[in-house]
Amino acid sequence: MLTMQLRSAHHGAKRSRARNVRHRWLVTVGLIVGFSAPAPPAAICAERSPSSPPYDHRTTDATAPSAASFLCGVTAKDVAEFPPEFSSGSEPTAVIIARFQGQWMVPMAERKVRKVMRQVNDWYEEVSHGQTRFDYDLYSGVTVPFPFSCKFDADDAVIEAADPLIDYTQYDRLMLFFPGPFIGVECAFGGYSSVGKRTIRTEDGTIRASVSVMNTAGLPFSPIATRSTIHEFGHALGLYHANGWDCGDDPLEGPCRSIEYGNAFDIMGEPGGLVPPALALPHFSPGFKVQLGWLPEDAVIDVEPPGGRYMLAPLEPPAHEVDPPQALRIARGEEGEAFYVEFRQPIGVDQRIRSPKRTYSGVLINLISSGAKPSQLINARPERGHFGKAAWIIGQSLEDSRWGIRITPIALHDQGIEVEVEFGP
């Protein structure tokens, strides 16, 4: 179990605290990702204001993966590009429970927020194999001295209201819990987050920190809050969404579009088809784990021509407990794109997953572009119109005619799954 620092600050002067912790931060462009429509509980992003550009969060038509097709309701705020770094060790975090003046909804209780954060840290401890955790201080009793409005940034208002209580220079992550508009309002949301850190001006000086928001009005019970908070912290660490790549009846070729949240096998996607969905807390896919620095070099094999046969170990255990690799990376030409091939098993949090019989007996294949962008799940059964049967089972091949790549799982073994990669003209 993690030892977490829990403090409640209702009144009084802010305190300065020295922390002797080792940390490195994954920092990317300070953007906000979100929905422009009211979000269901399991969907956790929201457009920040009615003045934001009218991006379509559902799908983006494209003929090939591109940065433009990967953004859902993005608005820029204090946009700055910071050097990307891995996420390793403690992430000093300020958790703030707040409300706006005149709200009839009460904020989430401290005990519930602590429970959520405990579950969040348990998940990150397992999935990162002890490499990342959020050591946090909890501040409650914060009231913004004016009513909520869609005309201003609610997160900035909460940060400013809590400024007299908090020395923000001690933190690299801010997680805000407050009741906001959930249905029937133009700026309704379930939650949102910066992707990586952004610039914040405080009484103690200018800092760089990620800012994540949970709308507690849209989180009726803690499992949904836990899943949503895990997802938002994923954005805070620099991850985009786990999307699906929809090319009609073909897995890869033709007029294609990116389906937001299409990958139900990654916590950065949406767990459609599960009852209740909040119980699905799957691992990050290997491309995201590589971005976070959680997979060692020998856990990912770069497959080059002429290809060959590879034994792929399950993604879930620590790399030192299995025979590597845990992922295959196959470059798609020289355009910075690559297929990531992975093998899931019912271990830990992955015991609850979409289409378990098929998923545990095949491989998942994601297409990822270089840099911090969403992943695109390649669908083995595109004719079904959804990504629930996306796993590629024994004998089923993904063929990339453009680059002459063929990926086929050929046999299940006690230690993993055997995958053949072929290169052609």
Determine the pLDDT at residue 53.
Answer: 26
Residue 189 lies in a domain: yes
Strand 88-90 and strand 23-24: the pairing is: antiparallel
Instruction: Select the more confidently predicted residue: 82 or 258.
Output: 258
Query: Is the same domain home to 162 and 128?
Result: yes
Give the tokens for residue 423.
Answer: 């290169």
Confidence of residue 275 (pLDDT cuts 50, 70, 90): very low
Residue 67 lies in a domain: yes
- For CA atoms 81, 296, 117, 232, the dihedral sign is positive
Residue 79: inside a domain: yes
Do both 278 and 311 map to the same domain?
Answer: yes
Q: Do 220 and 271 share a domain, yes or no?
A: no
**What is the signed CA dihedral for 268, 25, 127, 43, rounded to 10 degrees?**
-20
Tens-digit pLDDT profile for residues 62-92 = 222 222 222 222 333 433 345 445 667 899 9
Angle between helices 222-236 and 110-127 (to 10 degrees): 60
Count of beta carbons in the 10 Å neighbourhood of residue 7: 13
Beta bridge mates, 245: 258, 378
Q: Given 172, 203, 236, which residue is the final one in a domain?
A: 236
State whether 293 and 209 are in the same domain.
no
pTM for this predicted structure: 0.82
Which one has a higher pLDDT value, 138 or 58?
138
286 and 212 in one domain? no
3-state secondary structure of 362: strand
What percent of the chain has pLDDT above 70? 76
The whole-number pLDDT of residue 254 equals 85
- Banded pLDDT at 348 (limits 50, 70, 90): very high
CA atoms within 13 A on the CB side of 420: 11
Q: What is the pLDDT of residues 412-421, one digit of tens each?
A: 999 999 999 9
The verdict on 199 and 254 lying in the same domain is no
pLDDT at 45 > cutoff 80: no
Do 142 and 73 sit in the same domain of this protein? yes
User: Which is higher by pLDDT, 69 or 269?
Assistant: 269
Band (222; pLDDT cuts 50, 70, 90): low
226 plus 165 within the same structural domain? yes
Q: Are residues 265 and 398 in the same domain?
A: yes
Does residue 49 belong to any structural domain of this protein? yes
Of 185, 203, 236, which one is at a domain's C-terminal end? 236
Cα–Cα distance, 216 to 177 (Å, whole number): 6
pLDDT for 303 beyond 60: yes
Residues 96 and 38 in one domain: yes
- Position 5 in a domain: no
pLDDT in tens, 24-38: 222 222 333 333 222
Give the separation between CA 221 and CA 134, rounded to whole angstroms.
21
- pLDDT of residue 257 exceeding 50, the answer is yes
For the cut 60, the answer to whether the pLDDT of residue 22 exceeds it is no
Tally of structural domains, the chain? 2
Q: Is residue 6 part of a domain?
A: no
Let me know whether 151 and 108 are in one domain: yes
pLDDT exceeds 80 at position 209: yes
- Residue that is last in its domain, among 221, 236, 251: 236
* Residue 273 reports pLDDT greater than 90: no
Asked whether residue 17 is domain-assigned, the answer is: no
Q: By residue range, what is the domain housing residue 224?
A: 23-236
Q: Kindly list the distances between the CA atom of residue 322 and the CA atoms of 224, 243, 316, 352, in Å, as whole numbers in the listed order.
A: 32, 28, 10, 22
Among the ranges given (33-37, 126-130, 168-172, 383-387), the one the predictor scored with the smallest mean pLDDT: 33-37
Domain assignment of residue 380, yes or no: yes
Quick one: pLDDT at residue 10? 38
Q: Pick the residue with more confidence: 157 or 279?
A: 157
| Judgement on whether residues 223 and 261 belong to the same structural domain of the protein | no
